[in-house]
Every structure is written in structure tokens, then in C-alpha cells.
Amino acid sequence: MKELCTFLRARRGRLDPTQVGLPPATGRRKAGLRREEVATLAGISVTWYTWLEQGRDVQPSRQVLDALARTLRLSSTEHAYILGLAGYTALPPAADAAADAPAHVQRLLDVLVSSPAYAVAPDWRIAAWNAAYEDLYPNVATVPAAERNLLWLVFTDPYVRDLLPDWETTSRRFLAEFRAEAGPRLTDLARSPVITSLLRISPDFRDAWGTHRIEGFTSRLRTFRHPRAGVLHFEHHRLAPADQPNLHLVIYTPATEPGGPPA
């Protein structure tokens, strides 16, 4: 807790009163906010906040830390940092509504010449892809943007069903992974046009959705049955850029023969 106390004092000392709607800091002996100002703005006891900064034996609740993060104008990274110092797990990042991945993410995908790869948003919208992925799945470039969602394509595109010899197993696993990743956002994502439409038009999706299966992602061997290239084997990997945690990069690295992690 010592680091938390030190961090809060440092952030309080660097915050200008005008940033939180207070008069300019004239006549103050020290820069920054006073403890009583932070406590009042955060809606907590001045004495209790003083004890927290002094390193007394107090345990701040998550709600208190959230209020302090707002009051001290902490960035999302700083907010996650103080939660971690107090022993809490950081909240998952809010879903990014941007239509496309940042340019540097696209450049990263493009250098993976021999590996089909794409970027997927929290709602599983495909936000970017490289030429190798378009060779594997050409429809990604022509499907309407509103339908360029991994769940939608897996459950509605006949090309994908033909591409995946294990479609029934893979489609259900994808949905189980989606549920696991959505976590506390699942209620909101379940109201999305993609999910509501799939529940209406796809018996396969409706049946799989009703099982409430949850499964975390693991790297594994994937097999595709391409109409021109024939049977292709890849290892399926996923990572998240440190500066774009809302995006997952899905990468298929070529495998010369069946093997690798169990499916």
C-alpha cells in the first residue's frame, strides 16, 4: 500500500485546481490540490483520505478508487495501476467503436506476408486484415461493412462453412470464446444487431447461444479446405497490441503438417 499512498500524493500535487473546477491556486503554499479538496470531490471522508495517503491500515474499496481516479483525472493506465496496487483486477477496456484499426496495426498485419491475419474488435467486428487472409477468405473484402463480423460470417456465409471441415465444432468454439471475452459487456453486446439477427435467422447460432458455453482461447492447429489451394494447415495464434487492448490480432502461421497444440 505504500506505493499507492505515494502515487496518490504525487498525483494530487501535480493537479491544478482549475482542472477540477476550483479557483486558481493563488496564495497556496504548495502546488496541487489539498487533501480536503480531493476528499470532497471524491465524496469520501477527509480523515479517511488522509489516513490513506499516510499509509494507515485502511483498505479502499474499488468504488473509492474509481472515484479517486475520476477526481485526480487519472488516465485509464493510471486507473488500472492503482486498482492493481490495491489488489483489484482492472476493468476490461470499453469497446472501441472505431470502424478501422489504426494505421500501425494495419502495417503490422501487412508485413505478415505468409500468415493470414486480421484484427478483431470486442464485438468481433473484423477491423483490418492482410492480403494473405484475403487470399484465404476473399469475401472479407466484399462483404458489407455491417456484416463484416466474425460471428456473422461464420454462421451465415456458405464459403466459411465449406472452408472449415470442422465447422460445427469450430463455430461453437468461436461462440464460447466470444462469451468468455465479452465478460461484463455481454449484456450490451447481446443486444447488438449482429447477435439479435443471428438469433432470429440462424438455428445453429440460436442452439449454440442457448448452451451458454464458455471457453478461453488457446493456440491450436487449424485446418482449412481452400477451393484453389486445397487443404491448408495453420497454427492459430492471437495477441493484443499493448497500445490497442481493444483489438485482438488473429494470426495463422503456416504448419507444414498436422501437429502442434491439441485442438
Grid cell, residue 195, equals: 447477435
Residue type, 109: L
pLDDT score for 66: 93
- Kindly give the confidence (pLDDT) of every residue in the chain, 263 residues in length, as a single tens digit, with 9 standing for 90 and above: 788 998 999 888 888 888 877 777 666 667 789 899 999 999 999 999 999 999 888 899 999 999 999 999 988 878 888 988 888 876 655 554 456 799 999 999 999 999 999 999 989 999 999 999 999 999 999 999 999 999 999 999 999 999 999 999 999 999 999 988 887 678 788 888 999 999 999 999 999 999 989 899 999 999 999 999 999 999 999 999 988 888 999 999 999 766 544 44
**CA dist 218 → 83, 208, 215, 224 (Å):** 27, 20, 9, 18
**CA dist 164 → 20, 90, 116, 223 (Å):** 55, 36, 15, 7
Cell numbers 486558481 correspond to what residue?
24
Contact 261, 253 (CB under 8 A): no
Of the candidates 141, 144, 152, 134, the one whose C-alpha atom is nearest the C-alpha of residue 252 is 134
Decide: pTM greater than 0.75: no
